[in-house]
Amino acid sequence: MDNNEQRFKEMIVRHKDFIWHICESYRMGATWEVSDMFQEVLCMLWRYYPGFDGRSAERTWIYKVANNTLISLKRRAINRQQTNDTVPEQYYNDDRTEYNDLMQLIETLEEKDYCIVKAHLDGFDYAEIAKMVGISVAAVSMRLSRAKQKLRKMYEYEK
Amino acid sequence: MKNKDFDKQWNNCKEEYKKAKCPLDSNDLDRFITRAMETTQNPATKPKTRNVWIWSLSAAAACMAMLFVVNTVVAKPADEFQHIIIDGQEIIFACNNGCSPENTVEMFNQIIQ
């Protein structure tokens, strides 16, 4: 195992819980098991690892690659469901009811708002989110506040 | 009440990532990492192959360019031989450009003058 592989392995071991959490938050029912998503994310992380120059924090870089991978997997899963004309799967069906309720509402947001809200809930500050999404810090703050208002309304309507 | 409920849920969700736990043990994780490394081409492991391609293509292009130069400029056999007589002396020379004896005589005269 060369240096590059060793460093990559150590990084994954350091962040395995967080990577697993990101995969879990993208539940895609029976289409993709969390472990399959985890494997796919590791593949993409390894593929893009040479491009990681340490300018952003490891955690931020991992989050960005993992999210992009999972968003494209999800798009593919949704397209497949639509072409197969099957009944949409229940994405969130584990025992974390509160988390799942809110995540289901967050899923209905527009893709950029979804990424911003998710990153905020996953502990990233505005500056980090701004870097990830490619907008200004002020824009992140504004979009997050609007998305939260929207979610609140949806939540009240549902209850 | 509903507002408070939403805020509570929102704050609970913000704690969720801290509680996350990967269920894989070190052997399983090792297997996942190894599989990722084996199945995915990491560009960092590829430059040698890519360099070989680049060098091969460059060498081939250089060879072709050299062949072209040698073939057209240096080693092209003469198309024809011209015989001209200037001041009673016969001059034989190779001509690659389809030049006529009249042109050549004119050219020689210009040089002599």
CATH number at residue A156: 1.10.10.10
Q: Give the rounded distance of the alpha carbon of A84 from its chain centre.
A: 25
Same domain, A19 and A77: yes
User: CB–CB of B9 and A151 under 8 A?
Assistant: no
Taking the Cβ of residue A12 and every Cβ of chain B, the question of whether any pair is shorter than 8 Å is answered with yes
Cα–Cα distance measured from residue A92 to residue A99, given in angstroms and rounded to the nearest whole number? 9
User: CB–CB of A45 and B36 under 8 A?
Assistant: yes
Cα four-point dihedral sign A35, A36, A39, A40: negative
Does ipTM come in above 0.85?
Answer: no
Q: What percent of chain A has a predicted confidence (pLDDT) above 70?
A: 83
Contacts of A39 in chain B (CB under 8 A): 32, 35-36
A23-to-A67, B20, B35 alpha-carbon distances in Å: 9, 11, 18
Do residues A118 and A128 touch, judged by C-beta distance below 8 A?
A: no
Of A56, A72, A92, the residue at which a domain comes to its end is A92
Lowest mean pLDDT among A110-124, A138-152, B81-95: B81-95
Contacts of A42 in chain B (CB under 8 A): 32-33, 35-36
User: CB–CB of B13 and A99 under 8 A?
Assistant: yes
Same domain, A10 and A75: yes
Lowest mean pLDDT among A28-37, A92-101, A109-118: A92-101
| pLDDT of the residue at B92 | 72
Of A37, A72, A92, the residue at which a domain comes to its end is A92
User: CB–CB of A102 and B43 under 8 A?
Assistant: no
Residue A91 pLDDT greater than 50, yes or no: no
Q: pLDDT tens digits, residue range B2-12?
A: 566 888 888 88
Q: Kindly state the average pLDDT of the residues B22-51.
A: 79
Same domain, A159 and A133: yes
Q: pLDDT tens digits, residue range A25-51?
A: 876 655 578 888 899 999 999 999 988
Count CB neighbours of A124 within 10 A: 21
User: CB–CB of B10 and A102 under 8 A?
Assistant: yes
Closest alpha carbon within chain B to A16: B22
